[in-house]
Structure 1
């Protein structure tokens, strides 16, 4: 039976190559891919990610080849991304502690969550969190997505996170302990050197957001704790870390090897790579 992969995309814009890399690796193996977004809206690629002439300010060069721009544009325009699953419809929302009947509502929430998360974990062999600037808005602090990540991790299902999608892992926490599931793990992600100083963009925003609202590297260094580590690998062309069940990818050029490594994790039992 072919593997089944759930890919979560931002409704505020994903980076084209960071979707192409994993999807092409999965397609080559005959995997079945399903897409999801926060509220079921169709995801769209960030325009700079489809433009081979766009110069990435931190790197001072284009990060998208003409061939990759074409492949990303074709996937972005395809019907494959139509009608994604809605996390807001699939996964219940934790009640406010100020609700009038909080105890009963919390009990119902945990029952519904166990059923919903269990159904999703049973339906998919792996989870992918695609990067870009959009995840800063609707994925990083999405409690429903956190619960999905916690469920996949508890079931020992691999989770691939790219670029700012790695922030989801840092913030996915059991509310009893408040410790990140990355505690003691080795990860990579967007390093400080790669962050924009100005012009971070989101679909649907008509103003200059400036730099990213948080430095992901610092969050990941804190989330992994003294027994884990953040690996920026600045100066190296690619950076992908496997510390099972997590596969983390730094940025755009890491999406192709990240997809290939996810396949290796699923088919060959790879549990450690890159550190």
Structure 2
């Protein structure tokens, strides 16, 4: 039976190559890939990610080859992304402490969360969070997605995150001790040198945020703690870190490698790479 992978995308724009890279590796391996978004809305690629003429401001060059742009556009326009799973339907919402009858609601919530291991995690072999600027809006602080990440990590199944999607790992934490799930881990993610100074954009929102609202590198340095480490690998063409069960990718050029390492983790038991 083919392995199944759950790929999570933002509804506010994903980077084309950061979806194409992992999906290419999974298709080559014969995996069955299912897609999910926060509310079940169809995801759309960020327009610059499909334009080989677009010059990435921090790097001063195009980061998308004509071949990748074409293949990413074909994937973005295909029917594969037409009916994504709704994370809101998959994972319950944690009740407010101020909600009437909070204790009963909390008990029901934890019963449903426990079932994630028996349903979603039992169905899928790995979880992948695709990057781009969109995750800043609807994935980074998405508590339902955090619970999904925690469920996969509990069972030791790979969790792959790219670029600004790595923020989801930093903010996913047990409700009791509030420590990040990547505390003590080695990770990479969008480094400060790669951040825009202006022009951070989103699909469906006519708003130029300027720079990203938070520097992911600083958050990852803090979230990994004294026994973990953030690796920027600035100046190196690629940066992918495997520290089981997490596979993290810095940015666009790391997308295909991240997919390959996810396959290695599943097929060969890869537990450490890049540090």
TM-score w.r.t. the length of structure 2 is 0.99
Name 1:227's counterpart in structure 2. Answer: 227
Name 1:178's counterpart in structure 2. Answer: 178
Q: Tell me if 1:193 matches 2:193.
A: yes
1:199-247 deviation line (CA, Å, top 9, x unaligned): 0001111121110000000000000000000000000000000000000
Contact kept? 1:91, 1:117, Cα under 8 Å: no
Q: Tell me if 1:253 matches 2:253.
A: yes
Q: Tell me if 1:12 matches 2:38.
A: no
Contact kept? 1:38, 1:139, Cα under 8 Å: yes
Shift in alpha-carbon separation, 1:117–1:206, aligned structure 2, 3 A: farther
Aligned pair count?
A: 275
Contact kept? 2:116, 2:148, Cα under 8 Å: no
Residue 268 of structure 1, CA deviation: 0.3
Name 1:137's counterpart in structure 2. Answer: 137
Residue 117 of structure 1, CA deviation: 4.6
- Distance in 2 of aligned mates of 1:11 and 1:274: 31
- Give the superposed CA RMSD: 0.6
- Distance in 2 of aligned mates of 1:98 and 1:74: 47
Q: Tell me if 1:102 matches 2:102.
A: yes
Residue aligned with 2:119, SS: helix
Residue 118 of structure 1, CA deviation: 3.0
Contact kept? 1:91, 1:113, Cα under 8 Å: yes
1:140-190 deviation line (CA, Å, top 9, x unaligned): 000000000000000000011000000000000001000001000000000
Residue aligned with 1:127, SS: strand
- Distance in 2 of aligned mates of 1:271 and 1:105: 38
Name 1:68's counterpart in structure 2. Answer: 68
- Distance in 1 of aligned mates of 2:155 and 2:215: 30
Give 1:75-86 correspondences, 5 Å limit: 75-86=75-86
Between stretches 123-132 and 202-211, larger displacement belongs to 202-211
Contact kept? 1:118, 1:151, Cα under 8 Å: no
- Distance in 1 of aligned mates of 2:100 and 2:145: 26
Contact kept? 2:116, 2:151, Cα under 8 Å: no
TM-score w.r.t. the length of structure 1 is 0.99
- Distance in 1 of aligned mates of 2:176 and 2:141: 17
Name 2:87's counterpart in structure 1. Answer: 87
- Distance in 1 of aligned mates of 2:165 and 2:19: 12
Residue aligned with 1:236, SS: coil
- Distance in 2 of aligned mates of 1:157 and 1:189: 20
Residue aligned with 2:253, SS: helix
- Distance in 2 of aligned mates of 1:194 and 1:129: 19
- Distance in 2 of aligned mates of 1:234 and 1:49: 21
- Distance in 2 of aligned mates of 1:113 and 1:242: 27
Runs of 4+ that moved beyond 4 A: none
Structure 1 unaligned residues grouped into runs of 5+ = none
